[in-house]
Amino acid sequence: GENVEQHPSTLSVQEGDSAVIKCTYSDSASNYFPWYKQELGKGPQLIIDIRSNVGEKKDQRIAVTLNKTAKHFSLHITETQPEDSAVYFCAVQEWDSWGKLQFGAGTQVVVTP
């Protein structure tokens, strides 16, 4: 089955700086890669996603890049703000799994003013 590794496990950044989180996966047939933000006591919130036929996608201050050859994808947050502090999870959807997501272990992001 799919194996997803996420790094780093914790990330501390100064407000205004950029944050980058990277995930690698093992199954070359995987074709959908979402990112979720989870605030304390809440369910994960989908913030951006990318499909295998696209190399990069941006939405305001967040962007995701995908390298299918190397089997890794990354979340980029620019101009970080204190409200970006949360746990971020990457996920991978296997082509033949009828939609279940395999999640990374998460990255705790702390943005300090």
Partner 1 sequence: GAGVSQSPSNKVTEKGKDVELRCDPISGHTALYWYRQSLGQGLEFLIYFQGNSAPDKSGLPSDRFSAERTGGSVSTLTIQRTQQEDSAVYLCASSARTSGRGEQYFGPGTRLTVT
| Binding residues for partner 1 (CB under 8 A) | 6, 31-32, 34, 36, 41-46, 49, 89, 91, 93, 97-106
Task: Indicate the residue type of 10.
Answer: T
- CB 13 to partner 1: min, Å: 21
Q: How many Å apart are CA 80 and CA 89, to the nearest integer?
A: 17
- CB 84 to partner 1: min, Å: 19
Residue number, 72 or 78, with CB nearest to partner 1:
72
**What is the distance of C-alpha 54 from the center of its chain?**
15
Q: How many Å apart are CA 3 and CA 25, to the nearest integer?
A: 6
Task: Considering only the C-alpha atoms of the chain, give the largest distance between any 2 of them, rounded to a whole number of Å.
Answer: 44
Q: How many Å apart are CA 26 and CA 40, to the nearest integer?
A: 30
Residue number, 13 or 87, with CB nearest to partner 1:
87
Residue number, 6 or 80, with CB nearest to partner 1:
6
- CB 3 to partner 1: min, Å: 12
